[in-house]
Amino acid sequence: MVKQTIQIFARVKPTVRKQQQGIYSIDEDEKLTPSLEIILPRDLADGFVNNKRESYKFKFQKIFDQGANQETIFESIAKPVAESVLAGYNGTIFAYGQTGSGKTFTITGGAERYSDRGIIPRTLSYIFEQLQKDSSTIHTTHISYLEIYNECGYDLLDPRHEASSLEDLPKVTILEDPDQNIHLKNLSLHQAATEEEALNLLFLGDTNRMIAETPMNQASTRSHCIFTIHLSSKEPGSATVRHAKLHLVDLAGSERVAKTGVGGQLLTEAKYINLSLHYLEQVIIALSEKHRAHIPYRNSMMTSVLRDSLGGNCMTTMIATLSLEKRNIDESISTCRFAQRVALIKNEAVLNEEIDPRLMIIRLQKEIQELKDELAVVTGEQRTEVLTDAELLQLEKLITSFLEDQDPESRLDVGTDMRKIHHCFHHLKKLLNDKKIHGKSTVSSEIKDQDCQEPLKEEEYQKLRDILQQRDNEINILVNMLKKEKKKAQDALHLSSMGSSEWRHSQSSPLPPGNSEGVRTLPSSATTQVQDVSTVGHRSSLLHRKTGMREEMSLGRQEAFEIFKRDHADSITIEDNKQILKQRFSEAKALGESINETRSKIGRLKEEITQRHMQQVALGLSENTALPSMSDSLEEKLRSQLEEEKRRYKIMFMRLKALKVEIEHLQLLMDKAKVKLQKEFEAWWTEEATNLQVNSPATNSLNHMRPFPQTPESQQERSQLVANRSDVNTRKILPSPHPIPQSWGHNSTSASLESSISERPASSIPLTGDSQTDSDILAFIKARQSILQKKCFQ
């Protein structure tokens, strides 16, 4: 049993503006426990509800300042928890903080760069790597992904449902057994044999989460998400199974109701969410106070699900995410206060071992049989029934193979049944007597043969040598035939892979099954390849499902989508990722080629070594000497070359594997971005359609037609623009460094405008500051919109 308090860490999100940086400081040296000091600016201190203190200090296990990257967070926070999960203990990591402070970024990761991947993908990668290294144990991994919104649980991984809103997902409910263990009814568990399969599940869950979210229910900030990795392990032959669970929890935003200040449905949501976090707080308070008999776990779904993680059988870690800007100071202080309470809670983690009943039955049955046999021998109690014909035949077969076995150590094992033992003695006696009578002469001649081994005569020697030569020839012919067959198979494989556009096909297995000895010991990719194809199919079908509506689009709508896509802030990320992907593809392709070359080299070297060996043997035979001396320098050189090539092969193979994971991840990011884009387009489109129905298209179109990029940065840019300019009609136009070509808008016909749209660089429409040009731009936009509208309503 391991007793441990919940570990608390703080992570400060990078701030955009410099002047915000004076409001906190980190003291790393304070007797090894670092502390975070939040300094309240004077103007805020006056109005601050609780008191007028000007600074607050909070201790944390470790504090990660703005510069900390995802790798550091994983190494310091998640890796130790993953290690204890691999050792058989339960683990939980949860992120707590206000909306926008970086909980999702920390737990799942950013949606743009591979290096931004968060704790979940990194932990999966680490766990699968470790499991692969440990071949002495049999492991199984399952994944579940639960979202709790408004006190209802939803299964994010249900394959049967196509979610367009949360309510479409299967509802998960809590069941409690007589031992007060919690069971989640309807939460599906999915086996993941590889990192890739687990990543696909994460992607599926995240996509469902995103799709189910509507602007009215910003579920991502108001719901809790629990991604769970379930690990079971067993030593071969042992009946003991170890189970461990790792919960990775992205909690809802911790902001208070009072500040939310919204009405109607949003208020209900805010109340709920805060209720749920409020219950979490109550549980934490109850746990941190000594001698509290009742802990109110049952008050909310989330505390019920995380019951073991809080004050139970689990190693738990909390990450307090902080966005330390002036306007967030009170929320940051309340996040830190919550963390300090959490740090008082003690958990007791135990190894979760249980006996597999099926294996136990088999083991006990065997033991009973052995004991019965032993008892029969000890008590001398004979079985009365005679042996059947089949049993007798079986025994005789055993005796024959025992007698024929040349191994002096071989045993005649018939168990402890005395009837069988007696029968064996009888049978052996019979055999011996038969031999004495009939085979006297033969036995003596055999002995004579063995005793006097004369040197071989010249002709016999010649005969043997001829036979050897014949056999060698036969072997060579067979080897050649085999090589030809292999080459044919490889060529076919190569051809089919060349024809496919997917890299995963073209990389092809560098190790055809049944390859020669040295290569066979390297990790085989044949199975992963099959896997790849299936997961790709799975992912693309998912994407197809999620974006399926596009196929039914009218031409105009498609065009609008193209423009929306081009102008969307995410398009740069998608483009960047595409470029990186391209690079990785070509890197992987080059690597695949080098691997193939090295493999052929290995093959050639092996062949040379075999030939050399055969030559040496033949030489030895022809000179009638013993085996050639061991130190054949040429052969040794060849062998060391072979080892070197094998090493190179292994290194390249590992690199290719890593590349594959990266490519897979990038593809998932891109798929996710595409789904997001499509969803935003649909929302924009619906809004546009409604607006156009309400207002006359000619007068009102300008305010709605420009698709809006959704990033905070662009929003900021936009508000700055609004502040700078009084012209209301320019609100939705982004500044850009590119000047606009004069031809745009000047006396242009619709047709030439249309072509200029398609020729225009993929950036936003710029403002020049010159009022004449600006009004040209506006004219251009109007024209562009009427083209779009025409197409939309065709």
Could you list the residues known to form a binding site for ATP, using ranges.
97-104
- With residue 246 as reference, give the H or E element that holds it: strand 240-250
Cβ proximity to ligand ADP, 121 vs 510, nearer residue: 121
How far is 174 from 306, CA to CA, in rounded Å? 12
Q: How many residues does the chain have?
A: 794
- Interior CA angle at 750 toward 745 and 753, to 5°? 50
User: What does 14 interact with, of ligand ADP, Mg ion, none (CB < 5 to 8 A by kind)?
Assistant: ligand ADP
How far is 604 from 783, CA to CA, in rounded Å? 69
Tell me how far, at minimum, the Cβ of 103 lies from Mg ion, in Å. 5
Candidates 7, 61, 90, 99; binder of ligand ADP (CB under 6 A) is: 99
Tell me how far, at minimum, the Cβ of 580 lies from ligand ADP, in Å. 18
Q: Binding of ligand ADP at residue 316 (CB under 6 A)?
A: no
Tell me how far, at minimum, the Cβ of 176 lies from ligand ADP, in Å. 31
The mark string for 318-347 relative to ligand ADP (x by CB under 6 A, - otherwise) is: ---x--------------------------
User: What does 208 interact with, of Mg ion, ligand ADP, none (CB < 5 to 8 A by kind)?
Assistant: none
Q: Binding of ligand ADP at residue 221 (CB under 6 A)?
A: yes
Tell me how far, at minimum, the Cβ of 221 lies from Mg ion, in Å. 6
Query: If we measure between CA atoms, which residue out of 306, 382, 349, 337 comes closest to residue 93?
Result: 306
Cβ proximity to Mg ion, 99 vs 509, nearer residue: 99
How far is 524 from 511, CA to CA, in rounded Å? 6
Cβ proximity to ligand ADP, 68 vs 351, nearer residue: 68
| H helix count then E strand count, the chain | 27, 17
Tell me how far, at minimum, the Cβ of 250 lies from ligand ADP, in Å. 7
Q: Are 571 and 565 spatial neighbours (Cβ–Cβ below 8 Å)? A: yes
Tell me how far, at minimum, the Cβ of 253 lies from Mg ion, in Å. 7
Cβ proximity to ligand ADP, 338 vs 649, nearer residue: 338
Cβ proximity to ligand ADP, 99 vs 304, nearer residue: 99
- Interior CA angle at 415 toward 414 and 416, to 5°? 125
User: What does 282 interact with, of ligand ADP, Mg ion, none (CB < 5 to 8 A by kind)?
Assistant: none
Q: Are strands 91-96 and 240-250 parallel, antiparallel or unpaired?
A: parallel
Q: Binding of ligand ADP at residue 109 (CB under 6 A)?
A: no
Cβ proximity to ligand ADP, 112 vs 151, nearer residue: 112
Cβ proximity to ligand ADP, 97 vs 153, nearer residue: 97
Please, what is the angle between helix 633-694 and helix 570-622, to 10°? Answer: 160
Q: Binding of ligand ADP at residue 745 (CB under 6 A)?
A: no
Tell me how far, at minimum, the Cβ of 144 lies from ligand ADP, in Å. 21
Tell me how far, at minimum, the Cβ of 652 lies from ligand ADP, in Å. 34
User: What does 247 interact with, of ligand ADP, Mg ion, none (CB < 5 to 8 A by kind)?
Assistant: none
By CB under 5 A, name the binding residues for Mg ion. 103-104, 220
Q: Binding of ligand ADP at residue 105 (CB under 6 A)?
A: yes
How far is 139 from 518, CA to CA, in rounded Å? 27
User: What does 170 interact with, of Mg ion, ligand ADP, none (CB < 5 to 8 A by kind)?
Assistant: none
482-507 b/e (C-beta count within 10 Å ≥ 16 → b): eeeeeeeebeeeeeebeeeeebbbbb
* HSE toward the beta carbon, residue 368, CA cutoff 13 A: 6
Cβ proximity to ligand ADP, 11 vs 139, nearer residue: 11
Cβ proximity to Mg ion, 110 vs 735, nearer residue: 110
Which residue type, as a one-letter code, is found at position 551? E
Cβ proximity to Mg ion, 34 vs 118, nearer residue: 118
- Give the other-Cβ count within 10 Å of 131's Cβ: 19
How far is 205 from 248, CA to CA, in rounded Å? 13
253-271 b/e (C-beta count within 10 Å ≥ 16 → b): bbbeeeebeeeeeeeebbe
Cβ proximity to ligand ADP, 85 vs 219, nearer residue: 219
How far is 45 from 21, CA to CA, in rounded Å? 17
Tell me how far, at minimum, the Cβ of 95 lies from Mg ion, in Å. 8
Tell me how far, at minimum, the Cβ of 136 lies from ligand ADP, in Å. 39
The token pair at 568 is 């969307």
User: Partners of 36 in the beta sheet?
Assistant: 26, 58
Binding to ligand ADP, residues 351-390 (CB under 6 A): none
Burial class (CB in 10 A: 0-12, 13-18, 19+), 433: exposed
SS3 content of the chain, % helix, strand, coil (to 5): 60, 15, 30
Q: Which stretch binds ligand ADP (CB under 6 A): 101-109, 140-148, 178-186, 384-392?
A: 101-109
Q: Binding of ligand ADP at residue 41 (CB under 6 A)?
A: no
Q: Binding of ligand ADP at residue 103 (CB under 6 A)?
A: yes
Cβ proximity to ligand ADP, 125 vs 220, nearer residue: 220
Binding to ligand ADP, residues 665-704 (CB under 6 A): none
Cβ proximity to Mg ion, 111 vs 192, nearer residue: 111
Which residue type, as a one-letter code, is found at position 689? A
Q: Binding of ligand ADP at residue 102 (CB under 6 A)?
A: yes
Candidates 7, 8, 13, 528; binder of ligand ADP (CB under 6 A) is: 13
DSSP 40: P
How far is 71 from 318, CA to CA, in rounded Å? 17
Q: Are strands 182-185 and 91-96 parallel, antiparallel or unpaired?
A: unpaired
Return the SS3 of 217: strand
How far is 345 from 343, CA to CA, in rounded Å? 6
Tell me how far, at minimum, the Cβ of 104 lies from Mg ion, in Å. 3
Q: Are 606 and 642 spatial neighbours (Cβ–Cβ below 8 Å)? A: yes
Q: Binding of ligand ADP at residue 415 (CB under 6 A)?
A: no
Candidates 90, 92, 104, 194; binder of ligand ADP (CB under 6 A) is: 104
Tell me how far, at minimum, the Cβ of 249 lies from ligand ADP, in Å. 12
Q: Which stretch binds ligand ADP (CB under 6 A): 93-101, 190-198, 597-605, 635-643?
A: 93-101
Cβ proximity to ligand ADP, 14 vs 513, nearer residue: 14
Query: If we measure between CA atoms, which residue out of 235, 246, 230 comes closest to residue 83?
Result: 246
Burial class (CB in 10 A: 0-12, 13-18, 19+), 181: exposed
Q: Binding of ligand ADP at residue 97 (CB under 6 A)?
A: yes
How far is 30 from 34, CA to CA, in rounded Å? 6
User: What does 105 interact with, of ligand ADP, Mg ion, none (CB < 5 to 8 A by kind)?
Assistant: ligand ADP
Q: Binding of ligand ADP at residue 118 (CB under 6 A)?
A: no
Candidates 7, 84, 92, 101; binder of ligand ADP (CB under 6 A) is: 101
Tell me how far, at minimum, the Cβ of 484 lies from ligand ADP, in Å. 57
Burial class (CB in 10 A: 0-12, 13-18, 19+), 56: middle
DSSP 52: -
Binding to ligand ADP, residues 241-260 (CB under 6 A): 253
Q: How many residues in the shown chain lie near ligand ADP by CB under 6 A?
A: 14
Binding site: residue ranges? 97-104
Q: Binding of ligand ADP at residue 100 (CB under 6 A)?
A: yes
Cβ neighbors of 11 (< 8 A, separation 6 or more) are 63, 64, 68, 73, 102, 106, 319, 320, 321, 322
Instruction: Using CB under 6 A, list all residues that contact ligand ADP.
Output: 13-14, 97, 99-105, 110, 221, 253, 321
